[in-house]
Chains A and B, each alone.
Chain A
Amino acid sequence: MHTARTNPLNTLAMHGALILYTLIALFPVFVILINSFKTRKAIFREPLSLPTADSFSMIGYQTVMKQGDFFLYFQNSMIVTVASLFFILLFGAMAAFALSEYRFRGNMLMGLYLALGIMIPIRIGTVAILEMMVATGLVNSLLALILVYTAQGLPLAVFILSEFMRQVSDDLKNAGRIDGLTEYTIFFKLVLPLVRPAMATVAVFNMIPIWNDLWFPLILAPAEEVKTLTLGSQVFIGQFVTDWNAVLSALSMAILPVLILYVIFSRQLIRGITSGAVK
């Protein structure tokens, strides 16, 4: 067993496979990045070549900066994504704790009801949601988006987190109760840190669809001052002409924050897995 682990050939094969996969996964991103720095002609003539002195151009980025309020869109997307993730994790974890920890009438039914949302896409309810938002005067506000995304993310979050919380040792929670901790302290201080890997998983799963979503921003918040990045970039994609330089530049910039958030969460994920709970 020891030799199998340290066998250099095995290690090489393993790393080779992983590097190959990384290359495949990163290739589209790479193509977007290099093309965002090229002239329109160069993009179409040689899409896979690196920008040269001839073909180098910042025209895409310049268009993006001039057109519309790019930084505002950026900020809107960020606010919506981070706030939605925060509420999904907070409410999802609290609901999961209640379902896994307390025996009460209808516990099972409640769990099933909450899990139902996994199977029914929230977009089916778009018309009703729009009507509600109009009635409450929330259209064209970021809050509308945050509420919808939170609702969209909760079912899976509750489902995953309650599974993990069931595995947290009962003795630990009971020790806390005997020491006089409140249920909230037990939840925040004892249980949450132990399910951190699961929280990171839920966050990563939810983050990208929210960041990339076009549907709800288009319907619920199309106004200029609340446009998200994805919606804002759409001005460059026309029915007849598409400004590819601008689209590629906008995409390149849009990748960055997701990347940063992802790095933050995956750190948590790895730390959670390696630290190991104390028996």
Chain B
Amino acid sequence: MTALTLKGINKSFGTVHVLKDIDLEVEEGEFVVFVGPSGCGKSTLLRVISGLEDASSGEITIDGKVVNATPPAKRGIAMVFQSYALYPHLNVRGNMSLALKQERRSKAEIEERVAEASRMLNLTDYLDRFPSELSGGQRQRVAIGRAIVRQPKLFLFDEPLSNLDAALRMNTRLEISKLHRTLSASMIYVTHDQTEAMTLADKIVLLRDGRVEQVGSPMELYNNPANQFVAGFLGAPSMNFLPASTLNEGDNRTLGIRPEDLTLDPEGPLSGKVSHIENLGGDTNLIVDTEGSELTVRLFGQHPIDVGDQIRVSAQQNKQFFFDQDGRRVA
């Protein structure tokens, strides 16, 4: 059964057309990540799904029911916001139980669900604290707990980790992933961090300018991008693009090659001067100036190369992507 179906969703703010003909299916228990550059409409799409904004046209079906006219609280969803959005006047327990109280659940049931959620998120010791007395990571866990207690059919996350520091972000990412496995609920997760997208997603939806560019599993998108935009967006450092004519005379396509698919090779067809080196210990990233374009080369391990060295590289034959003038993938 599908947890969410979007059919022909459009959304305009006045004359600004933000979402354009979006079709999407989310299966039960699936973890779907929306990625895309800033301003492409990810948050807007999430708000349309949650009912905080009305779609200008199109049909939203959650769990088999068309919910276009259903208020957010009755859609069977829960949402976690980037800014936590905890109620400042309620303590952690109050924050988590408010929605259940609104639904007029029994006291015993509320208590049980809050206890379970706070155990899952290690919040048991903090139930009587107020949001202002918690750290950023704890606040975000409370926000997640507030979503869990409602036992929604669909979780919506809008960049939940972007206010956290790097270490905490990694921990919380693992926690969310674990949560998805234990709860086996459907989740939609918005981010513009591609590591989060690649590591969490069963399915990535890549958006640009309010349109879906490609939908698929992380590896599908990585190994088989439909166009130049998708190819350039996923992967860090991002894919190199150069005129294909540098390798084959008279070819007017664009060649795309990932930094890790370039290797040092004294006989290689591409040559250039190293202009910058990033030594990461496990990896070494070289920025190489070839005539006309800049290449990023990612080498495994450590290498005795200096800025200013002339090097030659070759590109693995079966890892090359070709795009036409409009950015469509042709080979």
A binds B: yes
Check A178–B132 contact: CB distance below 8 A. no
Nearest CB in chain A: distance from B160 CB, A: 11
Q: List A contacts of B163 (CB < 8 A).
A: 279
**Pairwise interchain contact B89-A178, C-beta atoms closer than 8 A:** no
The reply on A276 being an interface residue by CB < 8 A is yes
A177-B52, A177-B72 known; A169-B85 Cβ under 8 A = yes
- Please determine whether B79 and A178 come into contact, CB atoms closer than 8 angstroms: yes
A262 to chain B, nearest CB (A): 25
Residue of B nearest to A275 (CB): B132
The listed residue (B77, B88, B131) touching A178 by CB distance below 8 A is B77
Bitwise interface map of A from 149 to 186 toward B, beta carbon under 8 Å scored 1, else 0 = 00000000000000000000101101111111100000
For the complex, is B103 an interface residue (Cβ under 8 Å from A)?
Answer: yes
Main secondary structure, interface of A, reads helix
Name the residue of chain B whose CB is nearest to the CB of A179.
Answer: B99
Instruction: State whether the Cβ of A278 lies closer than 8 Å to any Cβ in chain B.
Output: yes
| Number of B interface residues in the complex (CB < 8 A) | 29
- The verdict on A110 contacting chain B, using a C-beta distance below 8 Å, is no
Interface string of B41-60 (1 = CB under 8 A from A): 00000010010100000000
Chain A interface, number of residues (Cβ within 8 angstroms): 20
A194 touching B88 in the complex, CB below 8 Å, given contacts A175-B81, A181-B102: yes
Shortest beta-carbon distance from A182 to chain B in Å: 9
Nearest CB to that of A176 among chain B residues? Answer: B87
B86 within 8 Å of A by Cβ? Answer: yes
B103 touches A180 (CB 8 A): yes
| B71 / chain A contacts, CB cutoff of 8 Å | 177
Q: B73 to A177, Cβ gap below 8 A? A: yes
CB-CB under 8 A from A181, the residues of chain B are 73, 98, 102
Known: A177-B52, A178-B52, A180-B99. A172 touches B82 (CB 8 A): no
CA distance A177 to B52 in the complex (A): 8
Q: What 1/0 mask marks residues of chain B from 125 to 139 whose CB sits below 8 Å from any chain A CB?
A: 000000110000001
Shortest C-beta distance, A183 to chain B (Å), equals 11
Cβ–Cβ contact B72 & A189, under 8 A: no
| A172 surroundings in chain B (CB, below 8 A) | 83, 85, 87
Beta-carbon contacts under 8 Å, B3-29 to A: none
With an 8 A cutoff between CB atoms, is A116 at the interface?
Answer: no
Complex CA gap A275/B88 in Å reads 10
B241 on interface, CB distance cutoff 8 Å: no
For B82, the chain A residues whose CB sits under 8 A away are 171
A178 touches B78 (CB 8 A): yes
A193 touches B89 (CB 8 A): yes
B91-109: which residues lie under 8 A (CB-CB) from chain A?
98-99, 102-103
The answer to the question of B189 belonging to the interface, with a C-beta cut-off of 8 Å to chain A, is: no
* Contact B73–A169 (Cβ < 8 Å): no
Chain A residue with Cβ nearest B73: A180
A132 on interface, CB distance cutoff 8 Å: no
Which chain A residues (113-165) contact chain B, with CB distance < 8 Å?
A: none
In the complex the two chains form, what is the Cα distance from A171 to B139 in whole Å? 14
B260 to A: closest C-beta gap in Å: 38
Would you call A23 an interface residue if the criterion is a C-beta within 8 Å of the partner chain's C-beta atoms?
Answer: no
* Residue with the highest number of chain A CB atoms closer than 10 Å, among B47, B71, B85, B150: B85
- In the bound complex, how far is the Cα of B87 from the Cα of A278, in angstroms? 8
Instruction: Give chain A nearest CB distance to B215 CB in angstroms.
Output: 26
Interface: B84 (CB within 8 A): yes
Q: Mark A238-279, 1 if CB is under 8 A from B, else 0.
A: 000000000000000000000000000000000000011111
Identify A189's interface contact among B52, B81, B89, CB under 8 A: B89
Alpha-carbon distance A261/B139, docked complex (angstroms): 37
Closest CB in chain A relative to B135 CB, distance in Å: 12
**Complex contacts, A193 vs chain B, CB 8 Å:** 88-89
Contact B103 A278 (CB under 8 A): no
Report which of B79, B87, B99, B132 forms a contact with A190, defined as CB distance below 8 A.
Answer: B87
- Contact A174:B81 (CB < 8 A) given known A179-B73, A179-B98, A179-B99: yes
Q: What distance in Å separates the Cβ of B136 from its nearest Cβ neighbour in chain A?
A: 8
Taking CB atoms and an 8 Å cut-off, the chain A residues in 9-52 that contact chain B are none
Residues of B within 8 A of A (CB): 47, 50, 52, 71-74, 77-79, 81-89, 98-99, 102-103, 131-132, 139, 146, 150, 163
Q: List 23 A-B contacts (CB under 8 A).
A: A169-B85, A171-B81, A171-B83, A171-B84, A172-B83, A172-B87, A174-B50, A174-B52, A174-B72, A174-B81, A175-B86, A176-B87, A177-B72, A177-B73, A178-B99, A179-B99, A179-B146, A179-B150, A180-B73, A181-B102, A278-B132, A278-B139, A279-B163
Give the 9 A-B CB pairs with smallest separation, nearest first: A180-B73, A180-B102, A171-B85, A179-B99, A171-B81, A175-B85, A278-B88, A278-B131, A172-B85
Beyond the given A171-B82, A175-B146, A180-B103, please list 18 additional residue pairs across the A-B interface where CB-CB is below 8 A: A169-B83, A171-B84, A172-B83, A172-B85, A174-B72, A175-B81, A175-B87, A176-B87, A179-B99, A179-B102, A179-B146, A179-B150, A181-B73, A193-B89, A275-B132, A276-B132, A278-B86, A278-B131
